[in-house]
Amino acid sequence: MVGGKRPTRETAVAVERRLNPTGSTPRIPAIRRARGAALQELVDFYGRYIAAFNAGDVAAFAACFHPPVTMMRPDRGEGGAEDRAVTVVEDPGALALRMPGHWARSTIDAVHPLDDVLPFAAGPGLPEPRRRLGLVADVSRWDHDGRVYEQVQALYLLSRRHGRLGIVFVADLGFTRRRQEPPGG
């Protein structure tokens, strides 16, 4: 369930087309775009992940993960069990799509490959380092009135299994939320 509503049968691809009719990609500086296929694969993967999330497509969303998945989320002051700092999820079906009732959709503001965020250069005489696949993404969450109410920056570590990318680790790096206005004010 997303925001207390049953997901529709609309596919993640259809939702992406509806929310992003121009087909534009998230903001990516030209230097990163020049890397071509490797970066595009990460951007496409993350786009499918957000589209599945927005569509409430539980199967497509779960397919974006390679369990067990470790999630590190700060306590956001809501007091629920999901506010635990570290959670390990073994069952992809348990990766729920829970959002508050005022949530309407999420949009991608930026996607940065892990190599750009945390570069690692080998010292003299050492071979090129092996790096984990990953990305850092900035996402805005919108309410039904068309206003951004929350922004999150998260680190995603990925693995490739059977030729398919999947998330194995998520950590919120930054989080901000607009204060709720008092009723009638």
- pLDDT tens for the chain, residues 1 to 185: 334 433 343 444 444 444 444 444 444 443 344 356 778 888 899 999 999 999 989 899 999 999 999 988 766 555 555 555 888 888 877 776 678 888 999 999 999 888 877 777 788 898 887 778 899 999 999 999 999 999 999 999 999 999 999 999 999 988 888 876 655 55
Type of residue found at 96: A
> Rounded to an integer, what is the distance from CA 167 to the centroid of its chain?
9
**Whole-number Å distance between alpha carbons of 106 and 133:** 23
CA-wise closest residue to 73 among 179, 181, 152, 139:
152
- pLDDT, residue 96, reads 67
Which domains can be identified in the chain, with CATH numbers?
12-177 (3.10.450.50)
**Whole-number Å distance between alpha carbons of 26 and 13:** 16
